Amino acid sequence: MSTSAVSRIVTVVLGEALVDVVHRADGSVARLPGGSGANTALALSRLGCATMFATCLGSDDDGRMILDRLRDSGVDLVVEPAQRTSTAEAHLRVDGSADYTFDVSWQPPVELPAAPDHLHAVGGAANGVLRGKHAAEFDGQGRGGRASG
């Protein structure tokens, strides 16, 4: 597929955005924007696809960091406000192993765009939305939706 053909595709990604809090064995800590939905939207946009990301974020520093990263990469956004932005903490050991703790608070956006060319739902919560009321909206347009999780 040519780059010009890719740029005409409109894809809506429905999923979570969170901050990865990485506690390294040396005691340093890094906060990095992440989440499978956010990463998928970011990659599609960087590949030239017209991409919209529907998610839930807090109006805190973490939420602003995620929004800035996505906007800087050309992702259009539909954001449902949340009390706080979700996190995934990784505690890394010297041997490379890790323990993970997830603090995810996710509510799908109330308003999703009508009939995108593609709808990609990422993660368990997003897949539940596809099986709910929004699935009928997209299926009724004769357009494909793909759920992964």
CATH number at residue 59: 3.40.1190.20
> Tens digit of pLDDT for each residue in 12-32?
898 899 999 999 999 999 999
Residue 149: inside a domain: no
Average pLDDT of the chain? 79
Residue with the bigger pLDDT between 29 and 131: it is 29
Confidence of residue 9 (pLDDT cuts 50, 70, 90): low
Q: Where are the beta strands (DSSP E) in 68-122?
A: 76-82, 86-92, 98-103, 118-122
> Tens digit of pLDDT for each residue in 45-67?
999 989 999 999 999 999 999 99
* Residue 118 structure tokens: 């593609």
Number of domains, the chain:
1
Residue 72: inside a domain: yes
d(CA 65, CA 21): 13
Residue type, 137: E
Collapsed DSSP state (helix, strand, coil) of residue 32:
strand
pTM of the model: 0.75
Tell me if 19 sits within 8 A of 86, measured CB to CB.
yes
Residue 99: inside a domain: yes
Residue 112: inside a domain: yes
Residue 148: inside a domain: no
